[in-house]
């Protein structure tokens, strides 16, 4: 075991640092998704042009083909440089793209992957439904196969960036009468297709970042199905396990920046003299260090074994809950000023705190994660 990086990796880190120092935009990412989309696309394009998009994606599809360790180094420097959140490009970069790399045909990869990396195509996710949240296998959205097309009817919800997206990773039922995990397919849905209606939903933080999507006889070519008709569950799980494994490294890295800001703030306003606050900050600083250690362990396992180990779900859960405690401390340290928060005020501390409640709901709730840990890591009997 070792924590030192190789000289090649240290050199790469220096390159990241220098580029970020010269290129991180000074203006803040706009507050609302509709305004932020141009910003997000432009920033993604700039990253791509400079060779910082898809660091560990295959070179034939526009990536750099570098190691996952270099990807982590980039994300560490990205957080340290206070570079903007990738926003609308999140799903393409962190779910859709990686799923395509693992499962898609050469044609599908050749078309979509470079567009994601260049910021030309925004992706959204279509998994949850009004009646299928944690119980993902309860999906009802139906795709009737007609010749070389699927005709889709139904609805998806909590779809982040739906109203600015070009494509959607859509999981739907393509076998009439099929139950649970069987008969599902994973398809690439054109969000501009006729029959799609998007109803934006406002979040508790004021943004309308997510939406409900309705499908009324929407036609998707069968050529857009990834991994073959009826294999949707398997493909969806590859995305979810990715998400629980390495998809949230950026979030884990960000905690390191956040805790230092909080300690600085508590020193500046004198609240650190309160032993309970000092104690909690000390505790969280230790936990943030442990998240980094867990991420490194997880990455080392990916390098050694080709995939994240079973403890990946532990990091996802612990990091999400730690993030929420950090944001709660951020709000506590602000005192009564948080009462001046308005949806339009762009107060990031309160916005991050409120948005952060999603971390233990989206991509598998904390309760589902605890089931997985209990059942897969400890061998307890399955509850469902």
Partner 1 sequence: MDLTPNDDQIAFQTATADWCRDNMPLEQSRARPTGLWAEVEAMGWTAMTGAELGLDHATEALVFAELGRVLAPVALLSTAVAGRWTGVAGKVALALEAGSGVRLLDSEGATHALGLIDGAIGWFAIDDAVEAVDSLDLSSSIARIDRPAGVERIEDPRAAFHLQLLAAAFAVGCADAARDMAADYARVREQFQRPIGWFQAIKHMCADMAVRSAVARSQLYFAACALDEGDVELPFHVAAAKRLAEQSALENGGDNIQVHGGIGMTDEAYPHLCLKRAHLLKFVAPVEDAVLLAN
Q: Which residues are identified as catalytic?
A: 243
The residue (of 153 and 300) whose beta carbon lies closer to partner 1 is 300
Q: Please, are residues 159 and 79 in contact by the beta-carbon 8 Å criterion?
A: no
# binding residues, partner 1 (CB under 8 A): 50
Report DSSP state, residue 184: E
Alpha carbons 339 and 320: distance in angstroms, whole number? 25
383 touches partner 1 by CB under 8 A: yes
- Of these, 13, 45, 234, 297, which contacts partner 1 (CB under 8 A)? 297
Distance, in Å, from the CA atom of 25 to the CA atom of 83, rounded to the nearest integer, reads 7
Phi-psi region of 147 (alpha: psi -120 to 50; beta: other; left: phi over 0): left
User: Is 325 a binder of partner 1 (CB under 8 A)?
Assistant: no
Nearest approach, Cβ of residue 75 and partner 1 (Å): 14
CB of residue 44 to partner 1, shortest distance in Å? 28
Contact 54, 64 (CB under 8 A): yes
Taking the complex as a whole, how short is the minimal distance between the CB of residue 65 and partner 1, in angstroms? 19
Q: Restricting to residues 249-288, which ones interact with partner 1 according to CB under 8 A? A: 263, 272, 275, 278-279, 281-283, 285-287
3-class DSSP assignment, residue 168 = strand
User: Least distance to partner 1 from the beta carbon of 85, Å?
Assistant: 26
Report if residue 7 touches partner 1, rule: CB under 8 A: no
Q: What gap in Å lies between CA 58 and CA 109, rounded to an integer?
A: 10
Which residue's CB is nearer to partner 1, number 62 or number 133? Answer: 133
Query: Please, what sign has the CA dihedral across residues 255, 258, 263, 264?
Result: positive
Measured from the CB of residue 356, what is the shortest distance to partner 1 in angstroms?
19
Per rule CB under 8 A, is residue 290 in the interface with partner 1? Answer: yes
Q: Which stretch binds partner 1 (CB under 8 A): 43-51, 161-169, 214-222, 375-383?
A: 375-383
Site track 48-87 with partner 1 (rule: CB under 8 A), x = hit: ---------------------x------------------
For position 311 contacting partner 1 by CB under 8 A, the verdict is: yes
Among 177, 194, 336, 379, binds partner 1 (CB under 8 A): 379
Query: Which residues partner with 173 through β-bridges?
Result: 142, 184
13 lies in the binding site for partner 1 (CB under 8 A): no
Long-range contacts made by residues 360-368, C-beta under 8 angstroms, separation at least 24? 360/317, 360/320, 360/321, 360/324, 362/158, 363/240, 363/243, 363/244, 363/316, 364/134, 364/240, 364/243, 364/244, 364/316, 365/133, 365/134, 366/317, 366/320, 366/321, 367/134, 368/134
Binding mask 338-367 for partner 1 (x = CB under 8 A): -----------------------------x
Q: Which is nearer to partner 1, 345 or 367 (CB)?
A: 367
296 binds partner 1 (CB under 8 A): yes
Classified as helix, coil or strand, 332 is helix
- The Cα 190–Cα 184 span in angstroms is 18
Report whether 31 contacts 90 (CB < 8 A).
no
Taking the complex as a whole, how short is the minimal distance between the CB of residue 254 and partner 1, in angstroms? 18
Tokens of 310: 């079973």
Helix (H, G, I), strand (E, B), or coil: what is residue 125?
strand
For the bound state, the minimum distance from the C-beta of residue 309 to partner 1, rounded and expressed in Å, comes to 9
Residues that bind partner 1 (CB under 8 A): 1-5, 9, 69, 263, 272, 275, 278-279, 281-283, 285-287, 289-294, 296-297, 299-301, 303-304, 311, 314-315, 317-318, 367, 369-371, 373-375, 377-383
């Amino acid at each position: 075991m070792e924590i030192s990086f190789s000289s090649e990796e240290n050199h790469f880190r220096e390159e990241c640092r220098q580029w970020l120092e010269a290129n991180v935009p000074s203006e803040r990412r706009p507050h609302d998704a509709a305004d932020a989309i141009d910003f997000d696309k432009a920033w993604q394009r700039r990253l791509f042009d400079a060779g910082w998009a898809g660091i560990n994606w295959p070179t034939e599809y526009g990536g750099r083909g570098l190691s996952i360790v270099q990807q982590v180094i980039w994300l560490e420097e990205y957080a340290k440089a206070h570079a903007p959140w990738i926003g609308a490009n999140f799903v393409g970069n962190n779910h859709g793209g990686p799923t395509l790399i693992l499962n898609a045909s050469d044609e599908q990869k050749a078309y979509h992957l470079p567009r994601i990396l260049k910021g030309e195509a925004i992706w959204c996710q279509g998994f949850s439904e009004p009646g299928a949240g944690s119980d993902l296998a309860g999906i009802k959205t139906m795709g009737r196969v007609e010749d070389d097309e699927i005709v889709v009817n139904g609805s998806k919800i909590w779809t982040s960036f739906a109203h600015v997206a070009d494509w959607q990773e859509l999981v739907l039922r393509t076998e009439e009468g099929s139950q649970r995990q069987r008969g599902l397919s994973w398809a690439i849905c054109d969000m501009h297709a006729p029959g799609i209606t998007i109803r934006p939903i406002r979040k508790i933080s004021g943004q309308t970042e997510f939406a409900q999507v309705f499908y009324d006889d929407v036609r998707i070519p069968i050529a857009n199905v990834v991994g073959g008709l009826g294999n949707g569950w398997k493909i969806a799980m590859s995305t979810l396990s990715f998400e629980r494994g390495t998809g949230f490294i950026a979030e884990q890295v960000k905690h390191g920046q956040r805790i230092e800001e909080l300690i600085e703030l508590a020193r500046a306003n004198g609240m650190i003299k309160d032993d309970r606050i000092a104690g909690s900050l000390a505790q969280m600083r230790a936990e943030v260090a442990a998240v980094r250690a867990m991420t490194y362990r997880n990455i080392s396992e990916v390098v050694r074994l080709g995939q994240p180990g079973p403890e990946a779900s532990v990091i996802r859960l612990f990091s999400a809950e730690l993030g929420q405690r950090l944001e709660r401390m951020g709000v506590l340290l602000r005192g009564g000023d948080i009462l001046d928060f308005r949806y339009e005020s762009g107060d990031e501390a309160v916005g991050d705190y409120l948005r952060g409640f999603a971390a233990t709901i989206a991509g598998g709730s904390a309760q589902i994660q605890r089931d997985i840990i209990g059942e897969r890591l400890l061998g307890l009997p399955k509850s469902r």
